[in-house]
Structure 1
Amino acid sequence: MIAWTELQPYLLALALGLLLGLQREAIKGHIAGIRTFPLITLLGAASAALGSWSMAIALGAVAAMLVASSVHPEREDGPGFTTEIACLLAFIIGATLKVGQEPIAILLTGCCMLLLQAKRPLHRFSKNLSMADLQAIAKLTLLSLVILPLLPNESYGPYAAINPFKIWMMVVLIVGLSLLAYFVSKFMGAKKGTLAAGLLGGLISSTATTVSFSRRAKSEEGIPAGLVTCVIMIASTIVFARVLFEIGLVASSHWQKLVYPIIAMMLWMALVSAAVFWRTRKQRQPESQHKPPSDLPAAVVFGLLYAVVLIGVAAANDHLGNQGVYIVAAISGLTDMDAITLSSAQLVAEGKLDAATGWRSILIGGMANLVFKAGIAILLGPKQLIQPLCTAFGVSLVGGIVIVAAWP
């Protein structure tokens, strides 16, 4: 069994190499791309493990190939030297086996094989990236690899509720999830139907999905209100799946105490969504378009909102008890589910909030969010949308109220 401490440097080398290679691959005229950079980083990690002489030799070989490639850039297979790096890595793999590091050698071999075999899909992915996509990835890199390491991992402010590192980690988490959902939508959603539109809309932003489809239903003729209701319901249901994932990341040790009522709410809304989907399955589907979501101002706003919610929940719990926490949850949940979810889960994990109050605050925030989206649809959507959407949301809210009141 390979220990995580042994794997971590090589997996990190692979990830960082892919990040650099992705950017180079999208720019024409490169001499090393999305496969070569990871191979170089893996080569450096492996050679360093063998000692300073091995690292110096490997570095010299890579430098020599860079010089040779720049002098003779035109080759039959285009610029690059993936095979040469793979050969050097193979040498290092053999040396690693010689010094008794069989698990590392197996890992390096697998990574090398996958990178060599994945030439076409990796190249296709990188060539389909727009400049806006690259800018979104760069912004996420700035948030996670530049700003985050510089922030102190200590508690400050009222009730010691403000931890800059943890707050910004939540910003990175939300932006990363949204960017991942965007790429899934872009590269796998060309023929997406109503179900896929709702699923991806829930991952990206159920509120944005509600705004987008409500406005389109009013401005474009021929888009059935029942179909728009279905998309919004599915997106609103998927929000709770994202909530479960966020709880697992922030409060994994309290998972069982927090998630079962939320799962019950998600299943109830899934049943409502299934009923709406069944009634509208034959209606024409609208197309959904999204832009890269990793926006720095939006990320900063979320971080500030998250910090305010942390202080508000801590203060409400200290002065008003559970009822105060629920008021904060309802207010913050009107526009954003992530802030109340992450703040409540973090406070439960730190022992500053009991689990029952934590999951109830999250669920109340979710129900408040449904009310907010219903208001958006009424203001921005056509009159035909009001009845089916309010009916679906109303049934969902009844289930949520029952869970909050009756769950032990």
Structure 2
Amino acid sequence: MTETLAFANAAAALGIGLLVGLERERRKGEGDRRDFAGLRTFAITSVLGYLAIQAGGPLLLGGMTLALGALVTVAYWRNLDKDPGITSEVALFAVLALGALCASAPGLATAIGVVMAGLLASRQALHHFARNQLTATEMRDGLVLLIAALVVLPLAPDRFLGPYDAINLRNLCTLTVMLMAVGALGHVAVRTLGTRYGYALSAIASGFASATATVATMGGIAAKEPINLKVVSAAAMLSNLATVTQMGLILAAVDPALLRWMWGPLVCGMLMVLLYAGVLMFPRPRARVDEPIKHGGAFSLKLALTMVLAMAAITVLSSAMLDAFGQAGVTVTAIFSGLLDAHASTASIASLAKGGFVPFDGVAVPVLMALSSNSLSKCVVAWLSGGRRFAGYVIPGQVLVTLAMWAGLLLPSLSA
């Protein structure tokens, strides 16, 4: 059994060397410009790393690394005037390390080897992306997003403070990162698919994180790109598909029987969203709207911070109203909490019904009240982020979707 595992690990080391070496062999050139390492060199180096760690441990592997370093240095200086790059040299050291890693973790070593071979094979595409497609502004925005997500967010305290203990800095930082990520997702989608389909798909996907944040992001884009106003407005409306879908999933997760009283509003809401967005997205075009964005940032940090502060203010207001009136009724609570998030209200109402505090047939009205107040928030956000013209498309759509869902209350009663 031990010998079988040893052969398998050695085969993994050989496979990594052959894979990377095959890619390098295709690029080593011919004649005077021929590189020093190809298919056989990489394969032997990988197996050498495996044998060194097996026979002599880290000490022998270190000696092999020093010897390889001396050979690579000589080869590099001999070819310095022809090709100053060191990709093959660094890849050779990596193959030696991966061969040694195959002795203890062949699966990890193989995965890293495949990724490394893919990076080497994608040289032209990566160079073209870095030099011709990625702008300085996009690079800056990417770094800001990574700093916010990987440095600031983990350091934010996860506790409630401020008026009524309603402010949670971790939640606010999470929302800020989410807003920036939504903008970046939409930017990438548009650069890849064009404005019409890129905005739509990114809005639906990001709507599962926050439809209100998606409306804010699309409003910022509409302010910068008035030529794509209708397409961006349609994308903002399509984020409602995520809202309605999540509401249905929450109700089904708490108790599938709740869908008996909510399937009508959910279906009517989805149909109205698709109809209204389709009218905006597919008019008779007078000019091309499918050209991808070539300039501009991936997101607006100022818009993200503004929206986070607005959300925090709504949270404090909701907490103040609940503190002043107490549990005056599930509907009143749903209205104020729905200003911030319709899904949290839906979950709480469904939980009350599951616990027997609210009858199942009394769930629909509070849930729709929460959704109506959330639609009001989206209308305000649309006006603040995108201006009058953007709001002129989004607000009527939100009103129609809300009315369609209220009208959907008639369907369960008719079917009963």
- Partners of 1:103 and 1:391 lie apart in 2 by 55
CA-CA distance at 1:113 after TM superposition:
1.9
- CA-CA distance at 1:397 after TM superposition: 2.7
- Give the counterpart letter for 1:167 in structure 2: L
1:112 aligns with 2:87: no
Residues 175 and 63 from structure 1, CA distance in 2 versus in 1: closer, same or farther, beyond 3 angstroms? farther
Distance 1:169 1:147 in 2: 10
Q: Distance in 1 between matches of 2:93 and 2:179?
A: 39
Of residues 268, 273, 284, the one that matches 2:272 is 268
Match of 1:153 in 2: 158
State how 1:322-401 maps to structure 2 within 5 Å: 322-329=330-337, 331=339, 340=341, 344=344, 360=368, 363-369=371-377, 371-372=379-380, 380-381=388-389, 392-401=397-406
For the 8 Å contact 2:214–2:239, the answer to whether it is kept is no
Q: Which residue of 2 aligns with 1:238?
A: 239
Q: 1:310 to 1:210 in 2, by over 3 A?
A: closer
1:130: how far off?
Answer: 1.7
Whether the 8 Å CA contact 2:250–2:347 is kept in 1: the answer is: no
- Deviation of 1:312 (Å): 4.2
- Is the contact between residue 151 and residue 165 of structure 1 (CA under 8 Å) also seen in structure 2? yes
Residue deviations 1:286-313 (CA, integer Å, cap 9, x gap): 4685732444444433443344444444
- Supply the AA of the counterpart residue of 1:237: L
Q: Is the contact between residue 160 and residue 168 of structure 2 (CA under 8 Å) also seen in structure 1?
A: yes
208 and 76 in structure 1: CA distance in 2 versus 1, 3 angstrom threshold:
same
CA-CA distance at 1:392 after TM superposition: 4.8
Taking the TM superposition and a 5 Å limit, the aligned residue runs for 1:285-324 are 285-286=288-289, 291-314=296-319, 316=321, 319-320=326-327, 321-324=329-332
For 2:360, the equivalent position in structure 1 comes to none
Task: State the superposition RMSD in angstroms.
Answer: 5.4
Give the Å deviation of 1:201: 6.6
Q: 1:110 to 1:367 in 2, by over 3 A?
A: same
Specify every segment of 5 or more residues in structure 2 that has no aligned partner in the other structure, as ranges. Answer: 1-48, 207-212, 356-362
Q: Cα distance 1:196–1:294, how it changes in 2: closer, same or farther (>3 A)?
A: closer
**Superposition TM-score, scaled by structure 2 size:** 0.58
The SS at the match of 2:102 is: helix
Offset, 1:122: 1.9
- 1:236-267 deviation digits (Å, cap 9, x = unpaired): 213543x589x79xxx9988459987974345
Q: Which position in structure 2 is the counterpart of 1:168?
A: 173
Query: For the residues of structure 2 that align with 1:330 and 1:103, how far apart are their CA atoms?
Result: 48
Residues in 2 aligned to 1:102 and 1:363: alpha-carbon distance in whole angstroms: 52
What are the superposed Cα offsets for residues 175-219 of structure 1, whole Å, 9 maximum, x if unpaired? Answer: 122112213323x25xx36444555577685356457658987xx
How far apart are 1:97 and its partner, in Å? 1.9
- C-alpha distance in 2, partners of 1:54/1:341? 63
User: In structure 2, what is the Cα distance between the partners aligned to 1:167 and 1:90?
Assistant: 44
Which of 1 and 2 has greater Rg? 2
TM-score (normalised: structure 1): 0.58
Specify whether residues 312 and 373 from structure 1 end up closer, same or farther in structure 2 by C-alpha distance, changes over 3 A only: closer
Match of 1:140 in 2: 145
| 8 A contact 2:153–2:170 mirrored in 1 | yes
Quick one: distance in 2 between partners of 1:63 and 1:235? 56
Give the fraction of aligned pairs with identical amino acids, expressed as a percent.
16
What count of residue pairs does the alignment treat as equivalent?
332
